[in-house]
Amino acid sequence: MKFTIGWLKDHLETKLNDSKIIDRLTNIGLEVESFNSQPSELDQFLIAKIVSSEKHPNADRLKVCEVDIGKNENVKVVCGAPNAKENLITIYAPPGAVIPKNQMKLSVSKIRGVTSYGMLCSEAELKLSNESNGITELSTNKYKSKIGKNYFSNKAAKVVDLSITPNRADCLGVKGIARDLAAAGSGKLRKKNLVRIKFYGSQNLRVKITKEKNQGCSIFGSLLIKDVKNQESPKWLKDKLLAIGQKPISAIVDITNYVMLDLNRPLHAYDADKIDTEIIVRNSKKGESFEALDNKKYVLDENMCVITDKSGILGLGGIIGGTRSATEFKTKNILLESAYFYPKSIRTTSRSLGIDTDAKHRFERGIDPNSIEEGLFVAAELIQKICGGTISKKNIETVERFKQHKISFPITKFQSITGLKASEKVVTKILDSLGFKVKKKKNILDLIVPSWRPDIEQEIDIVEEIARLIGYDKIATELPKKVRIKPTLNKQQRLFHFLQRSVASKGYLETVTWSFTDSKINNLFKEEKKEIEIVNPISSDLNVLRSSIFSNLIFYLKKNLERDFKDISMFEIGPIFTGSKPGEQEIVLGALKCGLASRLNWIEKERKLDVFDAKRDLIQTLCEIGLDQNIIKVDNKTPNYYHPGKSGVIYQDSLNKVPIAFFGEIHPNILQKAELKTDALVIFEIFLDRIKFQKEKLKDIKSKFQYSDFQKSERDFAFVIDKNFKVQELIKIISEVDKDLIKDIRVFDLYEGENIDKDKKSVALNVTIQSSQKSLTDDDLNKLNKLIISNVENKTGAKLRS
């Protein structure tokens, strides 16, 4: 909503200066977006200095000038003026500027083979004087520090631009803003004299609002103005509109606009001679069409509120008029419309047709239904004053009367919500100046809400009115108490934060990517999950919700590889989506690591990353969050984006069938399809929501510290075993031979190849044995040795390697 302070003062008597008014507007909830002059075409003309001037290579009388216009680089201008000399300060017009004298618009052009960017202007061209012999010469002393600045100062009145919240329909007119300021104690609302019009005859064009379901119009007021002479608006009116950036069209159109901006009362003027017989306000039928004032043809759906005559549609009520009945300079007779349309109907229609107009913006938020007559009379009087003519009596058709809204307001409510005490006197004064009718009954105020405030419905709305006009700054600042009744984070949330930092501490950079992704990449990681499409994506390559963290991670990995990074470790923790219903999502941590370990390192041997790099980071992380490495189970059933032979799944224990994590090398197909060029790429992912924790806290489950000082012994074994037999099982079998004595089992060698059958492998293990009761004798150890060997051989078919 734009207006000038001068316009505001048409309605507000105030002693405040501009900046006080601006502050006050913001403080009462009418946010000032800007307070500037409307940009002018003359803003383009800059003070400039000729840095050098040389003869044009192909023309004797022309010069090529290097001109300093205050920017980083000088511009080159071809100029024919004899006085275009080095160091002259003059006025420069850039391409796009319009020369005041001949209204010529400049463009970049070639003059005899030399490109000229803009022009240096004479005083005559700028209408400064008649001097046309040579370019303007500005005094060096006065202007040398102003190179690059505007030559013409912008004298236009400064414009206030307010950002009006959707609840404040009443402030879409200057009068409403003045009323609010007056209520805040910033002045007095001027009372306007009632218009005095001599009416000639009645409005004899029949108007009918059809009674039907979904009728969007409840009141249609109109009058006729006959024998007008439409013309350009007078200067005061043009200036008012121009100042706020509106283009004057003709007196009749300008006046309807002016009344809308001034009183928030949209009007429409028809050329009465173009109306066929009568006006019927009705619902549209599907497929009806008309050409609107924006020169577009609209094909309508059913149930849109249309203003029609016998021949068809004249316009969309409250949204836009039609070209068929538009006023022109030659228009003689006018039908002036002032109506009330329901916000919901306006909104539905304008949304489905995609039309936004000033009238629509206002009706959608709620226009004062009691302003119909005022709007007609104010506009008619102005039209008569400017264009002459005679004004008929008004005709107001009503199908539904406006009902006053009443609220009983307990004064104590204000203090209970704001913590601020306000006297009945202050409250009453504020409400009164906002236009409420106030009646006091004990501690209750009986209020009648002004018709221009459709947003005020209940007690809390009254609290807000009083609070914003007294000022939020009057409300105390009560410092919070440091009391906690509930833990800040629950277990799941703590796990989230812990995992995030646990993985980052292993050298991974955390990233955050969109929750949506490109379906083409997502398909590589989606498996059997449903594709969740976004109906209105921001772009076609962000068209589905991600089914995996890796959809985006791989995409951005590629970008970073293209930036010439070779060894990259990064992860994201966030939601993936399994369905389109709320809650069909789960939190996943996905990490990737690519390239070489110890690249270009003088002390360590360079090698490709492999599945065991991913496994190390994953298992360490799982241990850190509190899982027992001896209880989790590893298997090799992984999703199809993992390398089928070099990847694993983790279950929380051997009974659990729900995977809590995957790790491995990525499937080579994915590298190929995503065109990733890297030495190696390993990934892992953890499904947080699937990890189950004991209910007890650490303090309840921490076991007693037990240790043994008796001598430890170590024994080495090498078993030749089936190639497919999992070492995890082998270790389990050994550890179960004697859970008390066997303290640790380490795999220190794996061998396949010569001297071993093709379908076998040799696994070498080191077993640590220690008793907590005594020093073990050779006998004890030998017994255990034999037991280990026999158990392994019997249960696995392995043979001790000799």
Stretch 465-504 residues interacting with other proteins (CB under 8 A): 467-468, 472-473, 475-490, 493, 497, 500-504
Number of residues in contact with other proteins under rule CB under 8 A: 99
35 binds other proteins (CB under 8 A): no
- Contacting other proteins (CB under 8 A), which of 82, 113, 166, 668? 166
443 binds other proteins (CB under 8 A): no
Q: Closest CB to other proteins among 203 and 418? A: 418
Q: Closest CB to other proteins among 248 and 454? A: 454
461 binds other proteins (CB under 8 A): yes
458 binds other proteins (CB under 8 A): yes
Q: Three-state SS for 13?
A: strand
Check: CB of residue 58 under 8 Å from CB of residue 17: no
- Contacting other proteins (CB under 8 A), which of 226, 238, 347, 405? 347
- Contacting other proteins (CB under 8 A), which of 13, 26, 712, 794? 26
Distance between CA atoms of 448 and 116, rounded to whole angstroms? 69
Strand spans (E) along 40-88: 46-55, 63-68, 75-79
Q: Closest CB to other proteins among 128 and 426? A: 426
248 binds other proteins (CB under 8 A): no
Q: Closest CB to other proteins among 370 and 515? A: 515
Q: Which of residues 552-581 bind other proteins (CB under 8 A)?
A: 552-553, 556, 559-560, 563, 565, 567-570, 574-575, 577, 580-581
Which candidate, 732, 734, 716, places its Cα nearest to that of 801? Answer: 716
Q: Closest CB to other proteins among 256 and 551? A: 551
Distance between CA atoms of 343 and 340, rounded to whole angstroms? 9
What would the DSSP string read from start to end of 153-189?
Answer: ---SPEEEEEE--TT-GGGGSHHHHHHHHHHTTS-EE
Q: Closest CB to other proteins among 288 and 624? A: 624
Q: Closest CB to other proteins among 186 and 770? A: 186
- Contacting other proteins (CB under 8 A), which of 416, 423, 629, 777? 416
- Contacting other proteins (CB under 8 A), which of 328, 541, 584, 744? 584
Distance between CA atoms of 506 and 620, rounded to whole angstroms? 9
17 binds other proteins (CB under 8 A): no
Phi, psi (deg, nearest 5) at residue 766: -115, 125
- Contacting other proteins (CB under 8 A), which of 513, 735, 766, 771? 513
Rounded to the nearest whole angstrom, what is the least distance from the CB of residue 129 to other proteins in the complex?
Answer: 43
Phi, psi (deg, nearest 5) at residue 250: -150, 165
Distance between CA atoms of 795 and 74, rounded to whole angstroms? 89
Strand spans (E) along 72-143: 75-79, 89-93, 98-99, 104-105, 109-111, 114-116, 119-120
Rounded to the nearest whole angstrom, what is the least distance from the CB of residue 276 to other proteins in the complex?
Answer: 33
- Contacting other proteins (CB under 8 A), which of 509, 623, 631, 750? 509
- Contacting other proteins (CB under 8 A), which of 6, 507, 626, 644? 507
Rounded to the nearest whole angstrom, what is the least distance from the CB of residue 545 to other proteins in the complex?
Answer: 8
DSSP label of 529: P
Query: What b/e readout covers 497-532, taking b as 16+ CB neighbours within 10 angstroms?
Result: ebbbebbbebebeebeeeebbbbebbebbbeebeeb
Which residue has 């107009």 as its token pair? 357
- Contacting other proteins (CB under 8 A), which of 601, 636, 694, 782? 601
Strand spans (E) along 465-567: 509-510, 516-517, 544-545
Distance between CA atoms of 420 and 467, rounded to whole angstroms? 9
Rounded to the nearest whole angstrom, what is the least distance from the CB of residue 520 to other proteins in the complex?
Answer: 18
Paired strand residues for 67: 50, 75
Q: Closest CB to other proteins among 347 and 801? A: 347
Give me the long-range contacts of 620-624 (CB less than 8 A, separation at least 24): 620/506, 621/499, 621/502, 621/503, 621/506, 621/686, 622/650, 622/660, 622/661, 622/686, 624/498, 624/502
Check: CB of residue 439 under 8 Å from CB of residue 427: no
Rounded to the nearest whole angstrom, what is the least distance from the CB of residue 303 to other proteins in the complex?
Answer: 14
- Contacting other proteins (CB under 8 A), which of 512, 655, 698, 701? 512
604 binds other proteins (CB under 8 A): yes
Q: Closest CB to other proteins among 520 and 558? A: 558
Q: Closest CB to other proteins among 72 and 703? A: 72
- Contacting other proteins (CB under 8 A), which of 271, 364, 613, 665? 364
CA 588 to chain CA mean position, Å: 26
441 binds other proteins (CB under 8 A): no
Q: Closest CB to other proteins among 287 and 583? A: 583
535 binds other proteins (CB under 8 A): yes
What does the CA dihedral 727, 732, 735, 739 come to, rounded to 10 degrees?
Answer: 160
Q: Closest CB to other proteins among 500 and 796? A: 500
Rounded to the nearest whole angstrom, what is the least distance from the CB of residue 70 to other proteins in the complex?
Answer: 20
Check: CB of residue 540 under 8 Å from CB of residue 534: no
- Contacting other proteins (CB under 8 A), which of 327, 519, 548, 585? 585
Paired strand residues for 278: 206
Check: CB of residue 306 under 8 Å from CB of residue 300: yes
Q: Closest CB to other proteins among 562 and 759? A: 562
Query: What b/e readout covers 695-722, taking b as 16+ CB neighbours within 10 angstroms?
Result: eeeeeeeeeeeeeeeeeebeeebbbbbe
By rule CB under 8 A, what string of x and - marks binding of each residue 305-344 to other proteins? --------------------------------------xx
Rounded to the nearest whole angstrom, what is the least distance from the CB of residue 220 to other proteins in the complex?
Answer: 22
554 token code pair = 């791989």
598 binds other proteins (CB under 8 A): yes
Q: Closest CB to other proteins among 600 and 655? A: 600
